[in-house]
């Protein structure tokens, strides 16, 4: 919404609510009134307030876009021209190589742990009844009830 006049947006929203309310009046005279037409145009953004005057909105968004497009290269064009995807890929690979030693260090440290120890310890605790007498069946029975 760059370049949008905030009071105009607020006025448009207010007139949108007003147009909705007024459109509920079924009187044909009112439905064809210039006032309702004016409010409807305001609600659609066809008319705006500028310097305390009602003016037609500049609906020439296509030419505004074309001007911005013709103004020069976008950030994407600059990226491709200057940095390029190859440079990004090489930076990524270099950084990955620098951090590989940290990753390998973690893997080596974890593999030194005897993983079966905690599994055996858990099995022993279950066998000794450390978790009580309830089993999965008890939970299922309680749920069924």
What is the full DSSP assignment across 20-56? HHHTT---HHHHT-HHHHHHHHHHTTSEEEETTEEEE
pLDDT band at 3 (very low <50, low <70, confident <90, very high): very low
Q: What is the mean pLDDT of residues 55-69?
A: 71
Integer Cα distance of 14 and 20 in angstroms: 10
> Would residue 42 count as lying in a domain?
yes
44 and 90 assigned to the same domain: no
> Would residue 72 count as lying in a domain?
no
Q: What is the mean pLDDT of residues 102-117?
A: 74
CB of 40 closer than 8 Å to CB of 19: yes
Count: domains in the chain: 2
3 and 46 assigned to the same domain: yes
pLDDT for res 6: 58
> Would residue 68 count as lying in a domain?
no
> Would residue 38 count as lying in a domain?
yes
Query: What's the mean per-residue pLDDT of the chain?
Result: 76
Percent of the chain with pLDDT over 90: 0
87 and 124 assigned to the same domain: yes
> Would residue 66 count as lying in a domain?
no
Q: Is 88 helix (H, G, I), strand (E, B) or coil?
A: helix
41 and 90 assigned to the same domain: no
pLDDT, one tens digit per residue, over 31-45 is 888 888 888 888 887
> Would residue 138 count as lying in a domain?
no
84 and 126 assigned to the same domain: yes
52 and 85 assigned to the same domain: no
87 and 123 assigned to the same domain: yes
Tell me which of 10-19, 99-108, 120-129 is least confident.
99-108
> Would residue 54 count as lying in a domain?
yes
pLDDT for res 42: 80
pLDDT, one tens digit per residue, over 67-87 is 777 777 777 777 777 666 777
pLDDT band at 1 (very low <50, low <70, confident <90, very high): very low
Beta-bridge mates of residue 47: 56
> Would residue 121 count as lying in a domain?
yes
123 and 91 assigned to the same domain: yes
Q: What is the mean pLDDT of residues 45-74?
A: 74
**Domain span holding position 56:** 1-60
């Amino acid at each position: 919404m760059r370049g949008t006049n905030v009071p105009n947006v607020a006025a448009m929203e207010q007139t949108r609510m007003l147009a909705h309310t007024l459109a509920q009046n079924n009187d044909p005279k009112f439905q064809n009134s210039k006032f309702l037409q004016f409010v409807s145009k305001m609600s659609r953004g066809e008319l705006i307030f500028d310097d305390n005057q009602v003016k037609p909105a500049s609906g020439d968004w296509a030419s505004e876009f074309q001007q911005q497009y013709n103004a020069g290269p976008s950030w994407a064009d600059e990226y491709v021209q200057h940095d390029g995807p190859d440079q990004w890929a090489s930076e990524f690979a270099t950084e990955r190589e620098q951090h590989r030693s940290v990753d390998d260090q973690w893997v080596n440290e974890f593999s030194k742990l005897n993983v079966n120890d905690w599994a055996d310890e858990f099995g022993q605790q279950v066998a000794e009844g450390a978790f009580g007498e309830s089993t999965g069946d008890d939970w299922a029975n309680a749920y069924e009830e």
